[in-house]
Structure 1
Amino acid sequence: TLTFDSLSDEKLVLKNSDVWENSLTLGDGKLEVQSNSFQIRSTNPMDLDDNVDDILFNVEPQELTLHAKEFLRPALGGHNINTSLETKSIRGDLYHDLRLESRTQSVLIEADKDIHLESRGGDIMSQSYDNTILTANEAIRMQTKRLEFRNLPLFDKTADEINAKDSYQLCICESGQLFAVRPDSVCKADAHWCSVQTNDQ
């Protein structure tokens, strides 16, 4: 055991020949570290996961990494971010799903430019107990081999004829653009509408 006993702050400084400095300061209610990298390692890596090393906490100028089986906070919703999280990227590891969830409020994802969601090895699922709303000033683009709408209600013209004026057919151009027409109309648009090019085409 190495013990330091002092009436003032304790500071441990390490230097090399190039005067590159790491320092550790222990003060009244504080621990201050000056370094380009700071790590906390587990004494028992097997408690974490067989697929990761023993690093619990790692801080570098470009990245901050936390690893644990769970991030716990004494709140009903689990780990809670009270205001906002601003970052260039949020990603899950190779062996677990990435999940963003709000059980009682809303999850808001916004950007000044584009929002890009990509999964290279599985599904992207959005689930809401009320409504899922996608809003854009210009276009919402989906690039996929197949687009499915499941569990849609069937329209019975005889039973729902009063509301027939509020229903539409969903049509698609060869360019991928969608448009709606009345249920008794032909699914056809003029050449100008389907020839409008988006920025990605």
Structure 2
Amino acid sequence: MKGDAVNDSSPGPREVLQQMVREQYTTTTQGTSLERPENQYVYKIGIYGWRKRCLYLFVLLLLIILVVNFALTIWILKVMWFSPTGMGHLRVTKDGLRLEGESEFLFPLYAKEIHSRLDSSLLLQSTQNVTVNARNSEGEVTGRLKVGPKMVEVHSQQFQINSKDGRPLFTVDEKEVVVGTDKLRVTGPEGALFEHSVETPLVRADPFQDLRLESPTRSLSMDAPRGVHIKANSGKIEALSQMDIKLHSSDGMLVLDAATVCLPKLVQGTQGHTSSSQRLYEICVCPDGKLYLSAAGVGSTCQENSSVCQKST
């Protein structure tokens, strides 16, 4: 139809050809320049601007923390003396733990056995006290040793000290105290004080020292079923008393075995008539050793055949 106008918006052959030419790769000779298309877009890949600066700052901060941690780790290893065998004075061996030198424990220490080196002693030291406890299977304390600044305390049912060969030297329990040594020596300047009775086979002083048995306020008694023997090999024996001294033998006799028997403080009578009112007597001895008193006179009043001596026979 000739009267109808045709409206076709599709590109013509010439425009299609130009578009195809732009999309093709062309080769040019040296010195030839080609114009870039006007509608070319450039896309940038990466982080730019303030994001890039923050990223670099964060990486720098991590690097500083890493260096500080590494330095602190080296410092701790050096200060604590870490080694493949232990830490500081502490060594791990097949027999347990071994401490060299002085060590300080801030909390309780639980160990099965504690011993020192062969060439040194074991020292337990504290500013307050050292306490060693022994417990049973139920956790109850059965024995305690407490070493304080002023006193050493032992809480136990029995305390015993043994010698090297295992012989008990000193034993204490609730009923008695036993000293098992061959000789008990008291070196105090004032001797030993006993509040009750003492049983011992021998009491002896050191050489060239005096032996004194003293009771300041009460009496002193020495009892033995088979006799009491007091002997002074190179000196004398003195018996001093404010009151009477009595020598009594119930079954035997009193023997004064000496070259001279002296009674220096006996009152001597005066010459005159014999009278018992003077209260002066003479000690007479019978042939069998018996002593009796006889009224003193100018001469001796002792008679060998006295009735007192005859009665004794």
Tell me the TM-score range normalised by the shorter chain.
Answer: 0.5 to 0.7
Q: Report the equivalent of 2:257.
A: 143
Shift of 1:173: 4.1
Partner residue in 1 for 2:185: 66
Write the distance in 2 (CA, Å) between the matches of 1:67 and 1:187.
52
The whole-number CA distance in structure 2 between the counterparts of 1:187 and 1:150 is: 20
How big is each residue's C-alpha offset from its partner over 1:158-181, in whole Å with a ceiling of 9 and x where there is no partner? 6x95733x4421122455443322
Taking the TM superposition and a 5 Å limit, the aligned residue runs for 1:9-24 are none
Matching of residue 8 in structure 1 with residue 128 in structure 2? no
The percent of aligned pairs where both chains have the same amino acid is: 19
Residue among 83, 103, 110 paired with 2:216: 103
Distance 1:7 1:102 in 2: 42
For the Cα contact (< 8 Å) 2:283–2:291, is it kept in 1?
yes
Residue 190 of structure 1 corresponds to: 305
Instruction: Assess, with a 3 A threshold, how the Cα gap between structure 1 residues 8 and 95 changes in structure 2: closer, same or farther.
Output: same
Relative to 1, partners in 2 of residues 1:154 and 1:167: Cα closer, same or farther, differing over 3 Å?
closer
Counterpart CA distance in 2 for 1:103 and 1:157 is: 44
Q: CA deviation at 1:156?
A: 4.1
Contact 2:283 2:293 in 1 (8 A): yes
Letter in 2 for 1:2: L
- Report the CA distance shift for 1:118/1:92 in structure 2 as closer, same or farther (over 3 A): same
Distance change in 2, residues 1:181/1:2 (3 Å): same
TM-score of the superposition, structure 1-length normalised?
A: 0.58
Partner Cα separation in structure 1 for residue 214 and residue 303 of structure 2:
41
Confirm or deny that 1:119 pairs with 2:232.
Answer: yes
Q: Specify every segment of 5 or more residues in structure 2 that has no aligned partner in the other structure, as ranges.
A: 1-120, 125-130, 136-142, 146-152, 171-178
Equivalent of 1:86 in 199, 214, 218: 199
* Two-structure CA RMSD over aligned residues (Å): 3.7
More helix by share: 2
- Which among 33, 36, 41 is matched to residue 161 of structure 2? 33
Change (3 A) 1:8 1:67: same
Alpha-carbon deviation of 1:8?
1.2
TM-score, length basis structure 2 = 0.40
Q: Which runs of 4+ in 1 moved over 6 A?
A: none
Q: Deviations over 1:7-46 (max 9, x none)?
A: 417xxxxxxxxxxxxxxxx74433522342649xxxxxxx
Write the letter of the residue equivalent to 1:8: A
Residues of 2 paired with 1:27 and 1:80: CA distance?
29
Cα separation, partners in 2 of 1:189 and 1:141, compared to 1, 3 Å = same
Give the 3-state SS of the residue equivalent to 1:66 in structure 2.
coil
Match of 1:178 in 2: 291
| Structural mapping, 1:43-62, within 5 Å | 60=180
Measured after TM superposition, the shift of residue 3 of structure 1 is: 4.5
CA separation in 2, counterparts of 1:126 and 1:94?
22
Structure 1 counterpart of 2:231, which letter?
E
How far apart are the structure 1 equivalents of 2:234 and 2:168?
A: 32
What is the CA-CA distance between 1:71 and the residue it aligns to?
A: 3.8
1:6 shift after superposition? 4.7
Q: 1-side partners of 2:277 and 2:198: how far apart? A: 44
For residues 152 and 131 of structure 1, do their structure 2 counterparts lie closer, same or farther at Cα, with a shift above 3 Å needed?
Answer: same
One-letter amino acid of the counterpart of residue 119, structure 1: A
Partner secondary structure for residue 184 of structure 2: strand
**Partner-residue secondary structure (3-state), 2:277:** helix
Write the letter of the residue equivalent to 2:267: P
Aligned pair count reads 153
Unaligned stretches of 5+ residues in structure 1 = 10-25, 40-58, 73-78
TM-superposition CA deviations, 1:128-168 (whole Å, max 9, x none): 1222222221322222222111222233476x95733x442
Counterpart-to-counterpart distance in 2, 1:97 and 1:85 = 20
For residues 84-103 of structure 1, what are the alpha-carbon distances to aligned partners after superposition, in whole Å with 9 as ceiling and x for unaligned? 22222222222111112223
